[in-house]
Amino acid sequence: MLKLSIPSLLLSLAAVLAPGQALGFELSYLVGLRGNKHTYYAHLPGNLPDGVSFFESFVRSLHVWMDASGNISLNAIEEEREVCQTNFRGSSQNKVNTASFSTTFCGDDSYFSSGGTVADAVTQTSWDPGGIVESDIVFNEHSRSRFESVAHHFHHVATHEIGHTLGFGHSAVRSAIMQARLNYGRRDPVLSIDDRCALAMRYGSPGECPILLGEGLSTDSLPTEARFVGGATTNGGRTFENHFKPSDRITVYGTVVKDRTHGHRPGDLHVVVATDNGILFARHADGNFHPLEDASDIPSAGALKPGLYAQDLVIMGTRHYDREPSVGPLIGSVYQLQGQAISFYLAYSLDERPGVYYFGSEPIRVSWSEE
């Protein structure tokens, strides 16, 4: 059977390599916890199925994050405190960090009411230029029976919500604690590589992320703190690899971590694909990959969101459940890629600096063995 060349492969993949941003390993604030520490006043009466109190389980959830990073300090005091700013419905900005049960979030029952998606918990976080100054977690009182009967359910929800108080958004990676819809009741929560990379970028150093795409560079040769993270996986992000069997179903994830000075500046995301023989393709806003004729003028693959410190995208594979539908994983045997490789480079640009690109020095490289 005749094998497709890499250029014809990429053109044939044009319809399925659609652009689309997913709120993934997303850092929602330009700053982390003030002083890298947080104290929560937790009023969580009741017990889990194994008899452990909700409060103790909440403390265990704090340790899931602390055990993965020696740079943050989280603790809880078993005490009831006012969650809400009493004169403004839906607001909790009273500079007290809390965790509690309720049927509303500061009088707003839309998160916890029937009809549509009903949340097991909601977190509201406030920040100023110096750091995150307040976080409030409200667990849905209507979910109490599930919390009391399903093993590990509360522990998962609490760990996920604490991640929001650290400044993390939802993850597109299926194995991540920070994905929007979790599989509860199977085991104790375990941080994924994606979760750990978010910790490294916010509270450690980029080198602690195992899927860091080399050094951050810019085309104007000026130093930059921009970093790029990504990888290819067959198991929802539990592990990331570079070499695959032709029959493997591969999902490719990437994250752009902006230079801190670029946080509120609009721009564009870019994805460039390189073949082993040096032919380049770029993803366009229309959802397709097209040959890149001028590397100094790379088309936009989507908008760079102002105000986000890190922004995730799914290059190929299952998308975030509430964003775009799956475009299907990359299967080497379908496109007859045995013995071949392609490389995905991530970059971004700023509207105020046309023609300047910030990019990772290493690509996400995907190769297939011969069969």
What residue type is 90 in one-letter code? G
Tell me if 263 sits within 8 A of 27, measured CB to CB.
no
Question: 198 and 165 in contact (C-beta within 8 Å)?
Answer: no
Supply 30's token pair. Answer: 């330009």
**Whether 237 contacts 176, CB under 8 Å:** yes
Q: Taking the domains of the chain in order of start, what are their residue ranges?
A: 6-28+203-368, 34-167
Burial profile 189-227: b = 16 or more Cβ within 10 angstroms, e = fewer = bebbbbbbbbbbbbbbebebbebbbeebbbbeeeebebb
CATH number of 6-28+203-368: 2.60.40
What sections of the chain are H helices per DSSP?
6-12, 54-68, 144-149, 153-165, 193-203
Distance CA 356, CA 349 (A): 6
- Which DSSP symbol is given to 11? H
Q: How many whole angstroms separate alpha carbon 344 and alpha carbon 271?
A: 7
Token pair recorded at residue 135 = 């976080």
Helix (H, G, I), strand (E, B) or coil at 138: strand
The tens-digit pLDDT sequence of the chain (371 residues) is 223 333 333 333 322 222 222 223 566 566 788 899 999 999 999 999 989 999 999 999 999 999 999 899 999 999 999 888 766 666 677 788 999 999 988 888 888 876 556 789 999 888 887 888 889 999 999 989 989 998 889 999 999 999 999 989 888 888 889 988 776 556 788 899 999 999 998 898 889 999 999 999 999 999 999 999 999 999 989 999 999 999 999 988 899 999 988 978 999 999 999 988 889 999 887 667 889 989 889 999 888 988 778 888 888 776 555 445 455 688 888 888 889 899 999 999 999 999 999 999 999 999 999 86
From the list 198, 158, 202, 194, the residue with the least C-alpha distance to 173 is 194
- Judge contact between 350 and 262, C-beta under 8 A: yes
State the fold for domain 34-167. Answer: Collagenase (Catalytic Domain) (3.40.390)
